[in-house]
Structure formats: C-alpha cells, structure tokens
Structure 1
Amino acid sequence: MLLLFFFFFFAEAKDCHSLLKKHLSKAIIDELKNKKTKLGATLLDVIQSGVANLDSGVGVYAPDADSYTLFKPLFDPIIEEYHNGFGSNQKQPEIDLGEDKISLLTDLDPEGKYINSTRVRCGRSLQGYPFNPCLTEENYKEMEDKVSFLCGFSDPELKGTYYPLTGMTKDVQKQLIDDHFLFKEGDRY
C-alpha cells in the first residue's frame, strides 16, 4: 500500500526528475513489492532515498548485493540510462593489470601541460552485511570490530591505520576529508 502511495506521489511531484520517477511504474511495483533479499532488503529500501529527496538525480540505492538481481526490473533501466546505454547484457573488458604490465602504461601527459592530478577511489563492503541503507547499529559495530582488528596485523600487506569516528580530533578529521579518505558531514544522499 505504501509503495502505491509513493508511485502516485511521484506522479504528482512536478519538481522531481529522478531516474526513479521515470522508471518506477505500477507494473514494477506489482512485480517487486513482495520480494525480499537474503539480508531482508525490500523495494521500499531501494527507493527510500529517492522518495525522501525529490531533487536526487538517480533516486535508488542497492541495500545489498542481491538487490541488483532481485530488483533488476527497476535497477537495469536506471543503470543503463545513467551509463548512456551500457546495458545489463554488456560486459566490461577483461583487465590484466599485473605488476609485469606496468611498463606497458604510457604517460598520458608527457609534457605536464594538462593533467594536474588524478585519483582512483575504491570502496568495499564486507561480505555478509547489507549496504549502508539497511545497516543496523549492531552491523556497524561488528564491522568496526572486524576492520580495527584487521588493521592491527603486522604483515605490511595487511597492516593499516583505523580511525574511529568517535574520539577523532577535528584536525585528523579535516585532514582525512581533505585527502578524500573521509566523507564530509551533511551528505544527505
């Protein structure tokens, strides 16, 4: 019932232009409304951010990895449109970036005229836990315990520094934000 309310709510929301609004139909709701992933995610979890933030460009979040498969009728057209036609039937090219391939990489700006900086950012979720939209306080605590434990390994390949949000100094927080390792507060999406 709540899902149908959101469908009609979107129909009336003239200032909303999200991909969720464009691709959420009554047929999609009817097809997906009773589905639940192994970790308990529902269609409502998928669309909750887009409903709460009508100015969102996309409007959906995957609550867990299984959501991409279970809620495929909604995710696939949104992902395809967002990525300019790269559909679910297409695959990324095979990649072999072993250390023996480094010499094959060419300098994209050999004269240093155009590229000031670049970065690659990766994020990972822990297997067996939902993604952020469905994480509980208990999930966060368990994950924090696991990550802080793993950062303490003496093996240089695994060793790291764990920065807990609680108790972090403002200077450390600012530096981590400036270095793009920590999201700044206030990101409502």
Structure 2
Amino acid sequence: MVDAATAEKLDAAFKKLQGTESKSLLKKYLTPEIFDKLKGLKTALGATLLDVIQSGVENPDSGVGIYAPDAESYTTFADLFDPIIDDYHKGFKKTDLQPKCDFGDLNSFVNVDPDNAFVVSTRVRCGRSIQGYPFNPCLNEDQYKEMEGKVKGIFEKLGGELKGTYYPLTGMTKEVQQKLIDDHFLFKEGDRFLQAANACRYWPSGRGIYHNDAKSFLVWVNEEDHLRIISMQQGGDLGGVYKRMVAGANEIEKAGSFSRNDRFGFLTFCPTNLGTTIRASVHIKLPKLAADKAKLDATAAKYNLQVRGTSGEHTESIGGVYDISNKRRLGLTEGEAVKEMQDGILELIKIEKSL
C-alpha cells in the first residue's frame, strides 16, 4: 500500500484533475471508481498511481496524460492503461496480443525513390528499455550511470558501418556540443510534460549520444526512453536504412534483454510507443497532392500513414517538405509496420506522378 503522504497527494491530484477542462485520455478514463481501485497500489519497484498520472494532472492540455514509471505499471495499473491504449491506438482490446518480434525479410525493402525526385531523407527508429531497470521517474543516479556503462561497452565493440563515437552529456565541451547541435543530434533536457513526470532527474548524469562515423546511425541514451535507436540517411533507400537499424538493435541487445511482454510487445515509458515501437518516416515533397492538405491527409490515412510538418508533430511544412510515417505500432510485426510505410509511400508517389 502507498504511504499516507502519497495517498494525500493522490487525492489532491485527482481533485485537481476533475477541476480542469482537460480533454486528455487520462481525464476521460480515470473515473472515481478506477481511481479508488488503483490509488493504493504499488509496483515492486515502488511506482504508484501518482507517478503514472502526475504529468497529465500538471499539464491539462496533455493529449494522453499518463506515463509508465516501470514495466510492471502496465499490469498493476492496467484498468487505466488498457482503455487509454485501446483508444489511442484505435483498437487494441484487452484480449489482443502483440505478435512476436519479427523484422521480416530485410531484402524485401527497397529504395522508394530511386530517381531522388520526391524523398529528401529516410529515417527508421525504435525505442528500447533494458530489462531489470525501471523507467525514468523511478531510476536513481547510480542506475542511470550503470545503464550508460553497459551500452558504452557495446558501442566500443561496434564495427563496420556501425563503428563510431559515444558523447556523454556530462562534461561535454562547448565544441562537441556545437558539433552535435549542428548535426541536429543533440537532445535537450525534457519538455514540461516529461519534467512533470519526473523523467529528467539527475540531468545530465547517465545521458549521452552515440553516432557512427558516417552519421547515419545514432543512439540516444536515457533521454525519454533508456534507448532510442535511429538509422537515417539522405534519399529514399528505406531498405538500407531499415537494415542498419535492425543490425544496431540486435547488437545493442547484448547489453541486456529488452523489456517486453506478450500483451504489448516492447515496453517504453510512454503508452503511445509500444509494440514494435518502430517509426519509419520520410521527409518528402509532394507539391501537387499537398496543394490540398486535407486531400494529402485523407490519402495518407488510407494507407495507415501519418502526415506531420517538417520538424515533426505540431509543426508546419517548410518548403513543401512533409514528414510522413507509419501510424500503427501495435498489433502487427516490425516488418509489417515498415512494409505498411513502404507500400503507402510508393502509392503516394504514384498518385503524385499521376496528377
């Protein structure tokens, strides 16, 4: 059971949430009945309902409003997580299970724009959590450093096109910092949503960035998730980009098994990023289709694709460049998620050419 001080804070948080005009999924699904059922529970690592909901309480403009402080939270607080995940992912019922990890036939992925007429760049990333460690809000400083040490040991052994350098945030020189900013690699301390979830403690301890010599393979260590594994390059060679990400993820798993369960697949800090956790995207110019943004959105949605501005969510298109990615991450395999994106982008290019 939670202690008296936490129970008091939880009651105050619930009351505060009820008093807001929030349209978050947290407010929608944290009914008085669910609150009473979950408020006294605690995971083995000590996470409470307060850890789960505090970001959404402090930020009433949240879309979702909850985070998982550790892997066990997804089961301990399932009565809150399950309906939110089902709602956000547009259908992932309590009885649904994530398929086993399957990257698919890597040779079936192609260059979606061999003539370099439409695609500016291609990127595939996944999130991973190292088993045996809680997620950010419950990590202590020693655990941050311990995890960093484990993955650093793996980075030092990477060879071939993955070979590169690790840059710890602690003690980073101004020159290195500027170089990483210029390359658009450096991540900053978390936004207010992460701050409110207690996801940025002990900053910058245990955080850092690895990239290969060609700057086409990148790993963020202990930013929002334990690891963000990213592969990218100019042009439309999705096959090459995806193969590199898969090779990197397989090598990094040698640092320790990744947190995964049969229901949700790979587990990360945010319930929007479960299952495959894969986001495959292109920066692409489709001037004729994009002349009618509503039509572009509707056409992309037909192929389960999501259209964002050039710099991602909540941004505008710069110079007619859009960020288009697979939308579904749960309920299908890794290979299927990337194939869905590949097929959708090929169709959008075909439509653009026909206009």
Give the match for residue 59 of structure 1.
Answer: 65
Partners of 1:64 and 1:130 within 8 A in 2: yes
Other-structure match for 2:250: none
Does residue 142 of structure 2 align to residue 146 of structure 1?
no
**Letter matched to residue 159 of structure 2:** P
> 1:90 maps to which residue?
96
- For residues 127-142 of structure 1, the aligned pairs below 5 Å read 127-142=131-146
Q: Structure 2 length normalisation: TM-score?
A: 0.46
> Hey, which of these two has a bigger chunk of strand by percent?
2
- Structure-2 separation of matches of 1:186 and 1:96: 31
The residue aligned with 1:44 is 50
1:122 counterpart SS class: strand
SS of structure 2 residue aligned to 1:117: strand
* Residue of structure 2 in register with 1:109 after alignment: 113
Instruction: Pick closer, same or farther for the CA change 1:11–1:130 going to 2, 3 Å.
Output: same
Paired-residue identity, %? 61
| Cα pair distance change 1:61/1:161, threshold 3 Å | same
Mapped contact 1:28–1:74 kept (Cα < 8 A): yes
Instruction: Provide the rounded CA distance (Å) in 1 between the counterparts of 2:154 and 2:124.
Output: 23
Counterpart contact for 1:4–1:29, Cα < 8 Å: no
In structure 2, the CA distance between the partners of 1:163 and 1:94, relative to structure 1 (3 Å rule), is same
The aligned residue for residue 21 of structure 1 is: 27
Note the aligned Cα RMSD (angstroms). 2.7
Q: Partners of 1:39 and 1:124 in 2: how far apart?
A: 19
Task: Provide closer, same or farther for how the CA distance between residues 162 and 57 of structure 1 changes in structure 2, counting only shifts above 3 A.
Answer: same
CA pair 150-104 structure 1, distance change in 2 beyond 3 A: closer
Separation in structure 2 between the aligned mates of residue 132 and residue 187 of structure 1, nearest angstrom: 14
Native 8 Å contact 2:69 2:136 kept in 1 = yes
Determine the C-alpha separation between the residues in 1 that align with 2:94 and 2:182: 36
Task: Please state whether the residue corresponding to 2:34 is helix, strand or coil.
Answer: helix
Question: How far apart, CA to CA, are the structure 1 residues paired with 2:93 and 2:180?
Answer: 36
Change (3 A) 1:107 1:91: farther
Please state how far the C-alpha of 1:94 moved relative to its aligned partner. 5.9
Q: Which amino acid aligns with 1:156?
A: G
84-93 or 69-78, larger mean C-alpha shift: 84-93
Report the Cα offset of residue 151 of structure 1.
Answer: 3.0
| Structure 2 residues not aligned, in runs of 5+ | 1-7, 194-355
Which structure carries more relative contact order (alpha carbon 8 Å, separation 6+)?
A: 2
Q: Which TM-score applies when normalising by structure 1?
A: 0.81
| Mapped partners of 2:79, 2:151: distance in 1 | 34
Q: CA deviation at 1:186?
A: 4.8
Residue number in structure 2 paired with 1:156: 159
Among 74, 77, 83, which residue is 1:71 paired with? Answer: 77
- Counterpart-to-counterpart distance in 2, 1:17 and 1:62: 20
CA distance in 1, matches of 2:61, 2:53: 13
Residue 36 of structure 1 contacts residue 42 of structure 1 at CA under 8 Å; is this kept in 2?
yes
Contact kept? 1:150, 1:159, Cα under 8 Å: no
Amino acid at match of 1:140: Y
> Could you tell me how far 1:43 is from its partner in structure 2?
0.8
Unaligned 5+ segments in structure 1 are none
Relative to structure 1, the CA distance from residue 90 to residue 180 in structure 2 (aligned partners, 3 Å threshold; closer, same or farther) is farther
Number of the residue aligned with 1:32 = 38
Q: 1:171 to 1:56 in 2, by over 3 A?
A: farther
Which residue matches 2:172?
A: 168
Task: Give me the whole-angstrom Cα distance separating, in 1, the residues matched to 2:173 and 2:141.
Answer: 22
